[in-house]
Structure 1
Amino acid sequence: MVIYGIGLAMHGIIDNDEGICLFAPARRAEEVPVAKAISEHYQLPVRMDNNANAMALGERWFGNGKGIDNLLAIKVGQSIGSGVILRGQLFSGSHYSAGEIGHVNVLSDGPLCTCGNYGCLESVASIEAVVSKGRLRMKRGEDRELLALTGNDPDALNFEILRNAAELGNSLALHLLSEVGTHLGLALANTMNILDPTAVLIGGEILPVIDLVLPKMREIVTARSFRILKNKVVIEKVGLGQDAVAVGAATLIFEDLFQP
């Protein structure tokens, strides 16, 4: 078996030319030459990008974005980011920070974000943010049913328990996921007005509950996006599931091999 190279994807703002992690707030990392270290260790070429960009590439080549030249892929997990494909090419911007939808402000008086700002999408709609809100509301005595599922320990709430509760019809769990859809929809509507994509694909750790999030998200997008875009932009989940980022990382190597 011939190994042509190593494709890497990670959270943060990544210099995808030099393979340097410029800034990863959740990892407290800045200016880390990740690709160089791995290339020297394995004696192989290394291509690197952030996880949302990798997801976008994977979907563009092999998933629900196949053949779509103007595509937005949003990864929702412990962090939130997006990969932008414009005219068939990944768009990273002048400073490699294009697509940082997780740091679009959606609440002017919102909570502190890992980036140091307040009210970012990531601070209210990430997996960690949703679980934290659920814990806080249980401590306020808002939902005894959900509390029972945690063994009467609000701090024991995790995303799996929240997902199971939502699937059972728990009102607080469903409300929290509806809030995620609202925040995502608001940020997406603004982004769509700027980029005019053909399709938007949602992936990441949010996938197990995406069918409970998408209806509210689409509703907000329809209400807030530019009239000409209403009901024209496809908004659906990724086709590669949880493998989308890994496939996209491998795609970084494929691009070097097969593009002139």
Structure 2
Amino acid sequence: MLSAVWQDPEQTRASLTARMELTQQSVHRLLSTLHEDGMILFGPLVPPKRKGKPSPRLLLNPRFGCALGVSLDTDRVGVACMDFAGGHVTRQFSIAGDSVEAVLNRIDEAFDALLAQARFRREDAVGVGCAIAGYLMKNGRYNPPEPLKHWSEVDLARRVSERFRLPCWTDNNANTAALCEAMFGLGRSYRNLVYLSFNYGFGAGIISEGDLLHGAFGNAGEIGMIFTPEEAESRPALGLLLAHLRRAGHDVRSIEEIGAAIGRVPDEVAVWADRVAPQLNRVINAVTAVADPECIVFGGQIPRPLAQAFIDRAEFFARPRHGHINPLPELEISTLGGETPAVGAACLPLRALLF
């Protein structure tokens, strides 16, 4: 019931009753209990579309509590605080090989600042969601890219939980970014989407009927596995673009500086985009065939001009049969920006405990 209210901000008590497989009396009783517990608020009365009485709009109570989110990437950390209704504030800071303890200390400082900004106390937080670049191993730890190699030795959920004295849920950055997109971005229009996360590496998150798909080992969307070792050097990972620009003699020091570099050396970026386009097209066609999404979202840290360049080079391999071609997904650029993976990470405790 809470999930239904979350998914539709325009929901009224009457429209929710019509959706639920419960009697009107049962729905009203459950909503009254949620109201008494402080989870929902009854908003203004909304006139019915047809005959009937006005019905109150259902609102999640933002002051019921909050959740904290962290996203660890190769050169930066995003931090978020999300209230019960989905409102959020964020911060970020740069890292460059900083020790685990040093990063946790800075996260702690960011938590204090965000909680104060959102007017919450530590005891109002129900948990922490922590996302990291990399895939999940059988021992429950993550195997991140080279700049975060020292984090592979960390039991992330346990370390974060013990450090902040809160329950912790973990996932990879592509998944939490996809979750954020599903809840606040293009997921409002598409229930089935694939989120391509262009960062130092290249991954994906799969949303099926509004829910994140994890797979048997927690690595659904680990699309780097489809490349041969030779092809892996020509996949559309921004870390490889960074190396390409440096080899060409351009002073580009981090992923965040790539956007400015595109404006300075567009021809050099275009050469790289042409080289990696075949691998990207394979991914686009693979996720189309396997996940059958309505939309493929270009997200992560990719600058918008580069995302558009990839879309311009995209090619679907589907062939007509008997004069017809199967439905194909839209290719869209995420408009969320900011700390998308951290915001998605903050969703993890709320979804696990309440939604």
| Map of 1:250 onto structure 2 | 346
**Structure 1 counterpart SS, 2:131:** strand
Q: How many residues align?
A: 225
Following superposition, the deviation at residue 88 of structure 1 comes to: 2.6
Distance 1:205-1:180 versus aligned 2 partners, 3 A rule:
farther
- Picking from 183, 198, 212, the partner of 2:309 is 212
Change (3 A) 1:177 1:207: same
Please state if 1:6 is matched with 2:103: no
Asked if the contact 2:185/2:336 (under 8 Å) is kept, the reply is yes
- Is 1:23 matched up with 2:118? no
Q: CA deviation at 1:123?
A: 4.9
Contact kept, 8 Å, 1:12 with 1:21, in 2: the verdict is no
Q: Is the 8 A contact 1:77 1:204 kept in 2?
A: yes
Shift in CA distance, 160/81, structure 1 to aligned 2, threshold 3 Å = closer
SS in 2 for 1:171: helix
Aligned to 2:309, what secondary structure does the other structure show? helix
Unaligned 5+ segments in structure 1 are 109-116, 139-153
| Residue correspondence of structure 1 range 41-120 to structure 2 within 5 A | 41-66=163-188, 68-105=190-227, 108=228, 117-120=229-232
1:51-76 Cα deviation digits (max 9, x unpaired):
00001111111111225332111100
Report the TM-score, using the length of structure 2 for normalisation. 0.56
Deviations 1:138-166 (A, max 9, x none): 3xxxxxxxxxxxxxxx1634567764454
Structure 2: gaps spanning 5 or more residues: 1-119
- CA-atom RMSD in angstroms: 2.8
Query: Residue 244 of structure 2 corresponds to which residue in structure 1?
Result: 133
Which residue does the alignment assign to 1:176?
A: 272
Percent identity, aligned pairs only, is: 26
SS at match of 1:69: coil
- The answer to whether 1:190 aligns with 2:286 is yes
User: What amino acid maps onto 2:311 in structure 1?
Assistant: L
TM-score (norm 1): 0.75
Deviation at 1:32, TM superposition (A): 3.2
The answer to whether the 8 Å contact 2:234/2:275 transfers is no
Determine the structure 1 residue equivalent to 2:160. 38
Question: SS at 2:125's partner residue?
Answer: coil
- What corresponds to 2:12 in structure 1? none
* 8 A Cα contact 1:63 1:238, kept in partner: yes
Larger Rg belongs to: 2
